[in-house]
Chain A
Amino acid sequence: MNSHSHDGFDLKTGLNPGSGSSEAETTLRVIAGLPAPEGLEQRVNASLRHAPRSTSVLHWPAGQRSSWMQNTWARTAAAAAIVFVVAGGGWEVYSRVQPAQPSSAIALPPVATHRGFSSANAMRTPRTLNGTVLTHPLPDTAAEKRPTDRAKKPLKKTAAKPVAP
């Protein structure tokens, strides 16, 4: 076991390492000195050959270099047409959209801080529905019901008051 810890090696920095550190460096040197596997270069080259190339600028075909796009007036006309289409589209959208109407809300004065309910200084109260209008008076059903209700109720037991002599 110890044979691995005293392999000769020169220190690059001239520092004096302990025995533990020299063991570590020996191990690391063994690992660092391991040979690369056979055919590594060939495999790397093969992978590079099959790798997709990075983006490159595509050249316009040489035969079409003197085509209409090379003319200055045609380019100007095309640019003007694009500007016209974009501006026209923008104007159409702008003309269709109506500007927003100013709001008709009434600004209410600040609410006074009273206890309980208040009208909150409302300037305008909402309309409420009118009640049902009766064409003829209803019989007083409440008055008729009252004795029966009383009859149904259990009688309150009250102690008999002593009669004064």
Chain B
Amino acid sequence: MEIAPSAVEDEARQQVEEEALEALVGQYASTLYRVAFSILRNPSDAEDAVQEAFLRVLRHRDTLGEIRDHRVWLIRIVWNIVLDRKRRAKTRPETDDVAELARVLPAEGLSAEQRAAAAQHHAHVLSCVDRLPTKEREVMVLSAFEELTSVEIASVLGITESSVRSRLFRARNLMASLLQHSRSLR
């Protein structure tokens, strides 16, 4: 049977797409993982989210050429996946977060006690972050990523840059009062 020229073209195109996708994985998998982990706070869940994000990209690989900023586009995909998972997942007890944080936090030069105290502190702060209103919390979490500008945060969340700034301002004020309140209760 004669091989049609279109079949050869398709194969070549598929090869190019696969290479482009592999390049995207190599370049952005780590960033996407950190974004996913900042919300899910579980390594395996975060990795699953990253894999799901790239599977979605694979399904829509024909549109890869039309994307202007792959990084923001990918972060937006993983962000939606993560929020969806978070919404569906049952809330885990805070003790799980503490144990998980103690395991994953960098611990150079820290004793076991210091590490446990740091994990406890971070878990407490994160529980206060969780109590923020959704809009403010989302902006605050994304603003912690050094590589994301406020314009990019606005693009990920689908809002304007001024909204990002005002939400971040509100989030900081709320966070300050929440932590102050929790300290006064102790």
Contacts and interface: CB of A to CB of B under 8 A. Distances in A.
A8 B43 CA distance: 27
Contacts of A41: 25-26, 29-30
Interface residues of A, number: 39
A23 to B, nearest CB: 6
The contact size tier of chain B is: 35 or more
Nearest to B5: A62
Interface stretch (A31-39, A91-99, A106-114): A31-39
B157 interface: no
A31 B41 contact: yes
A20 to B, nearest CB: 3
Nearest to A42: B25
B29 A30 contact: no
Contact of A25 (B35, B121, B144): B144
Classify the interface of chain B: helix, strand, loop or mixed.
Answer: helix
Given A28-B140, A48-B25, A37 B175 contact: no
A45 to B, nearest CB: 6
Interface in A7-44: 12-13, 15, 17-21, 23-25, 27-37, 40-41, 43-44
B118 A4 contact: yes
Contacts of A56: 10
A63 interface: yes
Nearest to A49: B18
Interface in A118-161: none
Given A24-B129, A28-B144, A36-B34, A19 B121 contact: no
Contact of A29 (B4, B26, B144): B144
Interface in B36-61: 37-38, 41, 43, 47, 50-51, 54-55, 58-59, 61
B33 interface: yes
B176 A18 contact: yes
Contacts of A36: 29-30, 33-34
Contact of B180 (A4, A20, A31): A20
B7 A12 contact: no
A13 B162 CA distance: 10
A31 B172 contact: no
B165 interface: yes
- 6 closest cross-chain pairs (CB), A and B: A18-B176, A20-B179, A20-B176, A28-B144, A21-B172, A36-B30
Given A25-B143, A33-B34, A41-B29, 7 more contacts: A13-B168, A20-B176, A21-B175, A32-B34, A37-B47, A59-B7, A63-B2
Interface of A: 1, 4, 12-13, 15, 17-21, 23-25, 27-37, 40-41, 43-45, 47-48, 51, 53-54, 56, 59, 61-63
